Structures are given as C-alpha cells and as structure tokens.
Amino acid sequence: MALENLYQCTPSQLQDLPEKLAEAFYFSPLFQIAFPDEAKRKECMVFYFKQYLYAIAPEALFLADSEDMHTIMIVCDSRRYQQKEYYKRLCKMNLRFIRFVKKIGAKQCLYLIKHWDMFSSRWMKDFKRKHHFHLDMIITDATTRNHGIAERMVRELIDEGDIMDMDVSAEVYQKDTALWLEKMGFILMNTIVDEENDLHQYCLINQQHKE
C-alpha cells in the first residue's frame, strides 16, 4: 500500500497540531476574512482547529513525511465515516463554538454561519460516486519548504487511491495551490465564489477510472 510509505502520527504527537495549523494558515484568505481582527485571529484559529479536529478525528488519517513531522497531511477516509456518530460530534462542536460570540462578536459569528459552506466540503455531494479520500490539509515547516516533500506525499495518496479505486478530493482557496494540484492530475470541478469578499473555493478531484 502506498500510504505505508508515510509515517502515521501518534495522538501525543498531534497535541500541538491546532497551534501548527493556526500558524500555517494565519495568512490564508479564508481565515483573514473569517477572523479579520489580527490581535484575536490566532487565538480563534487555534480554538477552531481544536474543535474541527475533534469532529473529524475518527475518519481522519494523520500522516507525516517522517517521525520528525516536517510535513503533515490530514486525509479523511470516507470508509470510516459513521453518519450518526459524526453528527453527534458536530453538535458538540457547534455548542462549543458559542464561545466565539465573546471572542469575535455576534456580527462576525453571523457572518461565519452565513458563509459556512466556504469552510465545508458540501460541494462533494454533486460529484461523489464511491468511497474517496479527501485531502483536507497539508502543512510543511519552513525548514523543509520547497523540497518537494508535500508533492511526494500527495502523490502517495493518489497512488493509494489508484490501488483502492478511490477518488481523491480537495478544496483550496489560492489559485496557485489549485494549479499545483492540477499538475498532479486533479481536475477543477467547481469554483465557489464569495463575491462579497472576492474569496474563491477551488474544488478539485483526482478521479480513478477503473472498470
């Protein structure tokens, strides 16, 4: 199996993952719009990622390039999905998000609710045909950036999809990242646009075509 070439992160190694994700995505267009107050953004992002990782953990694979974890890739495996249990965790997550009202204000919370689709993978319902992998997030530390590690890991995931006859989906918010995925065989299926903020969600799939 292709994924056997990647390192499986342990729960203890993932304790500081919300902090790492907040640092990696601090300047992401999505989170700059979601949390415009720079003084509060990182705190809010860490809180958001803690709740989000709790919600997806049972379906997620946390993979790294090595035990040193220079690059971390989060992949959701639809074969692990249990709808009833997922919605229970989602409800708990949403209740915890009530704390956001104090952190960012009611107006910004209403904005997030209104634009929640920009945070989600709901677009997949129009294209999903079978079990699939979803490339949720991938981050690389500054010391090993531009060394091709992230591309190698994504290609390992694509190879696993080929072995298991499973598509690989992803959504990104920067055109350069979408083009990077397209070079590896992903196809742009849809672009969801928040015209109010000129924010684009690029929805891509690497499709398998086995008979």
What is the Cα–Cα distance from 30 to 197, expressed in whole angstroms? 10
Query: Where are the alpha helices (H) located in 105-174, listed in sequence order?
Result: 106-114, 149-164
Residue 62's DSSP bridge partners are 74
Give residues with Cβ within 8 angstroms of 40, minimum separation 6.
103, 104
Sheet arrangement for strand 167-172? 7-8, 60-64, 71-77, 132-140, 167-172, 199-206, 187-194
Query: What are the structure tokens assigned to 175, written together?
Result: 């055109």
The model's pTM: 0.88
Beta-bridge mates of residue 171: 203
pLDDT by residue, tens only, the chain of 211 residues: 679 999 999 999 999 999 999 999 999 988 888 888 888 899 889 988 988 898 889 999 999 999 999 999 999 999 988 878 877 877 777 677 666 666 677 777 776 766 666 666 777 777 766 789 999 999 999 888 888 999 999 999 999 999 999 999 999 999 999 999 999 999 999 998 888 888 899 999 998 765 4
Cα 185 from chain centroid (whole Å)? 19
